[in-house]
């Protein structure tokens, strides 16, 4: 049995997609027989949430071991302290937590490997000095400030296994750190297909529900979806995610009234999201092409949830998306940041049930390659190849 410690600085539970990825991957490690421990920081906002509740929030059935380590959580002072003070204080508290957690792991566990993301450079550096086996997953391009520390750590420790969430990101990491591209594996996000086992494609209704699930950040292309909704007023558009304040700002920006065909729903728990997927007819992934991250490096969880849901997908035609989806095969792809083309593609699916069924079926079959269990199995094979 392989022993894995997953070290994460994420707030869990939270509304962020990274918390969903971490819990599901740890759960998948457990399911395929790994001895898995998740180490994360204690957070004030979650002080009353017990581990059993975390399982329910993320709809996880096994009991992975989740350990909170002490953390100086300054979030309670966000409304009191000015950013000029809070930012360096947060930096210091995170660095202290990384130092403490690394030493805690080395004292309490004897893992075969420590799995971590590329957002804890000081923890990586400390572990590299100890010549510990590390699986380092890149989810984005590191900031310039930390690149020398990453370079030093990777050069110092030949026991680091590198993965990236997209091929384009792997290319960039290879370039940044001057390392062989073949030494970086590509490991996209995943999905738990079993959660969608009872979902059926519902197309026998005159009024379609066109759904977006995810953040309301500008780089998600929400503006273009809202503009498309104004062009197709005879159908429902539902946006699930973000906060009430974010939704209000968008309503004001685009003059959206109460009687509009566009409905905003705040962030929902994973278990609740299944109801929205089940009652939708078309799923939209409208990410912008204006930002390097979304254009080249993004592998959003919701993409794989969309695929597993059994509903037809319309997505931005971006290199990061095209690593997974193919136009008129597993999705319809529209010109990024073009609400007119998005409108055209939505109307095409509304009026073509056969195409909707074909896209849905192909995407569901493709999702088999991208389950969390498949990701975990591939990573364990990679680990075993490198540590044996």
CB contact at 8 A, 312 and 283: yes
pLDDT at 137 exceeding the cut of 90: yes
pLDDT at 95 exceeding the cut of 50: yes
CB contact at 8 A, 125 and 155: no
Which is nearest to 235 in space by CA: 262, 273, 266?
A: 262
CA distances to 121, 133, 157, 164, 339 from 145, rounded to whole Å, are: 10, 25, 20, 20, 37
Across residues 112-135, what is the average pLDDT? 96
- Using a 10 angstrom Cβ sphere, with 0-12 exposed, 13-18 middle and 19 or more buried, the burial of residue 80 is exposed
The string of pLDDT tens digits covering residues 222-271 is: 999 999 999 999 999 999 999 999 999 999 999 998 889 999 999 888 77
- Using a 10 angstrom Cβ sphere, with 0-12 exposed, 13-18 middle and 19 or more buried, the burial of residue 144 is exposed
The string of pLDDT tens digits covering residues 188-236 is: 999 998 888 655 544 446 789 999 999 999 889 999 999 999 999 999 9
Which of 84-88, 101-105, 261-265 is predicted with the least confidence, judged by mean pLDDT? 84-88
Domains 3-190+371-387 and 193-369 equal at CATH topology level? yes
Which class is domain 3-190+371-387?
A: alpha beta
Its pTM stands at 0.91
CB contact at 8 A, 97 and 72: yes
Domain ranges of the chain: 3-190+371-387, 193-369
Which is nearest to 162 in space by CA: 147, 177, 145?
A: 177
The string of pLDDT tens digits covering residues 261-315 is: 999 999 888 778 888 998 999 999 999 999 999 999 999 999 999 999 999 999 9
Tokens of 141: 């391009």
Across residues 9-37, what is the average pLDDT? 95
Instruction: Say what the pLDDT of residue 201 is.
Output: 46
Percent of the chain predicted with pLDDT > 90? 84
Kind of pairing, strands 65-69 and 262-265?
A: unpaired
Instruction: Say what the pLDDT of residue 225 is.
Output: 97
pLDDT at 115 exceeding the cut of 60: yes
Residue 43 neighbours by CB distance under 10 Å: 18
Tokens of 184: 């970086």
Q: Which fold has domain 193-369?
A: Rossmann fold (3.40.50)
Instruction: Say what the pLDDT of residue 166 is.
Output: 97
CA distances to 128, 225, 247, 358 from 254, rounded to whole Å, are: 50, 11, 11, 34
Distance CA(278)–CA(291), nearest Å, equals 31
Across residues 328-339, what is the average pLDDT? 98
């Amino acid at each position: 049995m392989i022993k894995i410690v997953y070290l994460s600085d994420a707030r869990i539970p939270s509304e962020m997609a990274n918390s969903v990825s971490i819990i599901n991957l740890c759960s998948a490690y457990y399911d395929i027989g790994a001895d898995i421990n998740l180490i994360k920081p204690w957070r004030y906002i979650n002080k009353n949430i017990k581990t059993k509740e975390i399982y329910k929030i993320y709809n996880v059935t096994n009991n992975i071991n989740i350990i909170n380590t002490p953390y100086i959580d300054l979030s309670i002072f966000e409304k009191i302290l000015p950013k000029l003070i809070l930012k360096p204080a947060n930096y210091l508290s995170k660095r202290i937590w990384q130092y403490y957690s690394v030493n805690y792991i080395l004292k309490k566990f004897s893992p075969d490997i420590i799995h971590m993301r590329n957002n804890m450079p000081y923890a990586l550096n400390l572990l590299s000095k100890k010549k510990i086996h590390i699986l380092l997953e890149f989810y984005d391009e590191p900031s310039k400030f930390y690149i020398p520390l990453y370079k030093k750590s990777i050069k110092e420790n030949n026991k680091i296994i590198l993965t990236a969430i997209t091929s384009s990101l792997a290319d960039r990491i290879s370039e940044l750190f001057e390392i062989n591209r073949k030494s970086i594996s590509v490991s996209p996000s995943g999905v738990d297909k079993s959660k969608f086992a009872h979902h059926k494609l519902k197309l026998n209704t005159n009024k379609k529900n066109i759904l977006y699930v995810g953040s309301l950040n500008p780089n998600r292309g929400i503006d273009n979806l809202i503009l498309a909704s104004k062009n197709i007023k005879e159908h429902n558009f539902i946006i699930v995610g973000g906060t009430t304040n974010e939704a209000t700002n968008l309503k004001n920006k685009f003059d959206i009234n109460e009687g509009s065909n566009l409905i905003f729903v705040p962030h929902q728990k994973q278990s609740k999201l299944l109801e929205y997927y089940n009652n939708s007819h078309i799923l939209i992934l409208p990410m912008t092409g204006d930002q390097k991250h979304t254009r080249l490096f993004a592998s959003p969880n919701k993409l794989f949830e969309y695929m597993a849901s059994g509903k037809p997908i319309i997505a931005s035609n971006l290199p990061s998306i095209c690593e997974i989806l193919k136009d008129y095969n597993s999705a319809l792809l529209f010109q990024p940041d073009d609400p007119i083309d998005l409108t055209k593609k939505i109307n095409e699916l509304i009026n073509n049930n056969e195409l909707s069924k074909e896209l849905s079926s192909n995407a569901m079959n493709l999702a088999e390659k991208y389950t969390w269990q498949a990701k975990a199995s591939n990573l364990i094979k990679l680990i075993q190849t490198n540590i044996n």
